[in-house]
A and B are shown apart, each in its own frame.
Chain A
């Protein structure tokens, strides 16, 4: 069932993409659009085939940076949300700081990170982590606070410890929120990694796009964007499958 749903989702996405490709192909051929303005999908496909190795390698680098940033950002966000859900003073202190982080434009700090952490993997991971942090923090916090108060009372009358209530009630109650946070954060992490590569890197899809832009090499530029989109779609499908599996008890998961 789960695999079938994922396949259907993927099929619909690919179908839409194919339709757009056909239209663009016809357009570029009919009006003889020059390649440096808009390359024909067939040209992009041919370029993707010849440079498949490069795209796969650079895509893998971007994916691993985004994944590391996602794990770091959401991990720290969940830990902080736990502390904030635990104590009001912490919530009052940490929330304004979190909003500060949120309001800082990523494009503004990205060059700074390159300055601090060099041209390697670190600044990309840091940007991806920073950009995923806030949506996950808010979702985790609201989720952990969403536990049913009657159920909390029930566990308390059984002498359950705070840790037991956290494990048996608060974390499962937060799961739907954690998943919606993860869905937002996952895409943001990819964008974060690409922005990081854009501002200074020798590897990754962001670098490929940057160089292609400078050279007006649009076939590889579109190729890189398509690889990025494919990674995003695959990551979302993965989260969706995990969500359906873990939230089978949730009325919304059942309904959709």
Chain B
């Protein structure tokens, strides 16, 4: 499996160290990063995106430095509770990534309008973000991060601020998306069940400064459905992740 993301002996921090000696390799798979709040999950994601410089160690994205990968427009990024650009309509928000950094290739085979349709936002195409529900806003955030057809998708608790039912729906949406195109996904969450349901591998981080506490291979078959949460093996996996956390 080709390695898309490679972190070797990475430490990072601001005034005090947040992450210490992290080794992580991600291929064409979904890796969930699980940890308590404030454990450095977001810093790890920002590190991969090159938004934070490591104090030591190296970060490789698709064989180059994160800054280079960014300039080539290879990274999709979805934040928690994305505020979007409130002065742009849904459609204009989705086309935004195509309007900046035009030197980079953007061979999105799927047009912005198709993304809007796929996310079930056709009726809201011309609506402004303040007219949308939280779930719809996150759908827009998802669409705009995918419109450049990124090789690497970084997601920072994208469903954390949504209500239970909306979360279930969007989770199904994500599972369906990942069946289609092979991508490297790093998915940060504090929800263990969500991590097990979505990921091929769950990596638990914790401590102060945070390091990798453990790793759990998720052997559940794909395609996955929300019904799998009731299978007997599912809870063993959840328990295994929880043990690493404690």
Same complex for A and B? Answer: yes
Chain A interfacial positions (CB closer than 8 Å to B): 148, 150-151, 153-161, 164, 168-169, 172, 175, 248-251, 254
Establish whether residues A250 and B86, one from each chain, have CB atoms under 8 Å apart when the complex forms: yes
Select from chain B the residue with minimum beta-carbon distance to A167. Answer: B100
Minimal beta-carbon separation of B104 from chain A (angstroms): 6
Contacts of A154 in B (CB 8 A): 77, 79, 82, 145
Residue from the list B46, B85, B97, B101 in contact with A161, Cβ < 8 A: B101
Indicate if B128 sits at the interface (CB-CB under 8 A). yes
Interface of B is mostly: loop
Q: Say if the beta carbon of B70 comes within 8 Å of chain A.
A: yes
Most chain A CB inside 10 Å of its own CB: which residue of B72, B128, B129: B128
Judged by a CB distance under 8 angstroms, whether B210 is at the interface is no
* Chain A residues positioned under 8 Å from B100 (CB to CB): 155, 158-161, 164, 168
Pair B83/A158 contact, Cβ less than 8 Å: no
Do A169 and B70 touch (CB < 8 A)?
no
**Those 5 A-B pairs whose CB atoms lie nearest each other, nearest first:** A160-B100, A159-B101, A157-B77, A159-B71, A150-B79
Interface size on B, as a range, is 20 to 34
Q: Which residues of B contact A158 (CB under 8 A)?
A: 70, 73, 75, 77, 97, 100-101, 148
Kindly state the separation between the CA atoms of A151 and B79 in the bound complex, as whole angstroms. 9
Q: Which residue of chain B has the shortest Cβ distance to A254 in the bound complex?
A: B130
Give chain A nearest CB distance to B4 CB in angstroms: 15
B26 at the interface (CB under 8 A from A): no
Contacts of A164 in B (CB 8 A): 100-101
A156-B51, A157-B77, A249-B130 as given contacts; A172 in contact with B46, CB under 8 Å:
no
Question: In the docked arrangement, what's the CA distance between A248 and B84, Å?
Answer: 16
Q: Which residues of B contact A157 (CB under 8 A)?
A: 49, 51, 70, 75-77, 154
Query: Which single residue of chain A is at the shortest CB-CB distance from B156?
Result: A150
Give the distance to chain B from A161, nearest Cβ to Cβ, in Å.
7
Q: Tell me which residues across on chain B come within 8 A of A249, comparing CB atoms.
A: 86-88, 128-130
For A159, give its contact among B72, B76, B84, B96 (CB under 8 Å): B72
Interface residues of B in 42-88 (CB under 8 A from A): 46, 49, 51, 70-73, 75-77, 79-88
Q: Are B85 and A168 in contact (CB under 8 A)?
A: yes
Q: B130 and A251: CB pair below 8 A?
A: yes
State whether A172 touches B130 (Cβ < 8 A).
Answer: no
Instruction: Show 17 A/B contacts (Cβ-Cβ < 8 Å), sorted by A.
Output: A150-B79, A150-B81, A153-B46, A153-B49, A153-B51, A153-B77, A154-B77, A154-B82, A154-B145, A157-B77, A158-B70, A158-B100, A158-B101, A161-B101, A172-B87, A250-B87, A254-B130
